Chains A and B, each alone.
Chain A
């Protein structure tokens, strides 16, 4: 028997939060789902359990308690809400892996609100100096989690971070979720990853990919 890793998903009932929760609902993980609407989080937990009774999952009323119990914290909130959440969980997230999934898009989706010399992930790391911030799942749409194989190819999931042991843990999570993990480099590579998804969103709207598309590096 192994000790289960406890994963807190903050913003668990949004599109991305739900998709991540469902794809990580495996016996080796214990999931704590926080949403500002507790009832919705509890309903999601029930739905997950009805699909697999062996999964330990529950809705939780407080993001601080969820993060305090967690080994890994996934911030599935919009970029604009990250600073407020970070402030709340800062003390209990010390030395823990905090996954930044956000893309700091502007209101018209034609650019990022962050300046060129930083990224949402690096800004989060500044707000959580004692945590191990890892960029992941920002280049994957919510629909990709349900169907990570698109056009016969397994979608890549890019991961960036400065702590190698933490990157390895997140790599395993991406694999659990059904993606092909690609370690992209240190946290500063998040600038590129966030811009990649800006392009993907623009192309999705332009060519009508129906919000089910992903990146795949073809190589020999």
Chain B
């Protein structure tokens, strides 16, 4: 299986190159046989890359430690599902996985459009195959081949880093990669539109659902990453402005800007050049993220000297793509002229424009902060880092304005808003915001950023609820349906709009959750068994945590010599106001193969706050079993995860195919592909 996978990788490259050439040639000459051959190359690549990926997984499961990659990211004692996840645990495997997902999306795009949008398709498949060719060249020639052999077979592998041994590890990277790779499809359509000169909103209409799909996965991927950090890294936070986190945020920022700005192009025929730039920038950032995440370029230029080769290859590719797209956009400038102009600052266009500028501004600030060590080293010969305060300084105000715009943009009128439009839509929400601000001030809240977040959130939520209310009432009046039925039909008729509102409501919840960090409480105390520590949360709840006992467990006792980790588990009872809430089992683990320890925190979630217990240090020498606990009460953190789920649900509503759901029949409904079939 592994040999087959290795061979598949080698066969894939000529097929990708062949398909690229044929697709572009077919587009140029209009010969359908060439185009068809190019499209079949995409299917073949998906198959071959699936084989290659299966080969890697087989090597992990078969404990084939003669392969450098397998030996570096696994050991005999590792759980099976972490062995499967070994495919994306390191740079080499994740490149194969990335390529597999991209080829899969390319195949889906080609298949779904096999009878539609024929003017675009040759260049779409050509562009996607060109990207795939590049990735395959990297895999085979940039010393990152996952099938590279060590030349001897070690008795055991080095093991997977303990911090990656968490179930989010099996979920978070694939989700993010799905988001990164799905965006290649809109990018390919954009390039195709530039090449063919068909620069109306058609390419956007065709790829709208792809854009939303990518956005859906990116958003979830980032939130899953935050959860992973929160549960596994054990410092009670979820975001550290680490270069790797920033890398995943950057394409999300530009993609979010793009999701909004395409609406202006579709409705008003404006911002065509801007949209082209955004789609190209987002695609470049997805590639940048992939390569930054796994190359270690930012933090350790010195220690990763051997990896600089791949850095130069990727930078060259990014430069080439940026250059080609710039030339194409300049060449097509006459066709990218706006069809109308902004008439007033108080209009929806203007709100969307402002939203875009802020997203791009944030993205720029994040790029700057992330690359600052490289920039200062290049210019002054001295690396200088910037920390979280830098990012907060820029992004907190910008984020708050964006939050407020979420309340303004959807209801303000196109072109020019009248005083009446403003009064009608904003009087109540503004009052709600002021009321919340006043109430919080009266309660003694003086943290300005958190206070503004809660007040603006109240404003935005009121706008959204009022929109749903008005829409449902109007529909119920006209159609005579009941409230709930008309709400469902309302959403069904314009999923994109109402789904967007649901996304906004989720984002509001996420923002309030983030603002909760202003009220974190933490206590560190060393306890002997039987002793307790008391904490008072920002909501005024009195928690008491009792350290009951310590147990040294050997979870895989049946296979005594096959232990992946040893565990010391503390039993901690949580009480609130005397009432027993839960028993937590925070752990210290030691991974003998890796010679590393790790902490598993205990988390007890309530609706409004999390009790978060970190066993900092376990005294094993004296036999007294004393443990240093850090106890945190983190208000509103659960709201981030709830908000994330609502965002995901809203995004799904927006991108769900129009035929499904509303057109459901007794026979089980229509499948997404059916629409394409019927078009024939």
A, B assembled together: no
Binding site for A on B (CB under 8 A): none
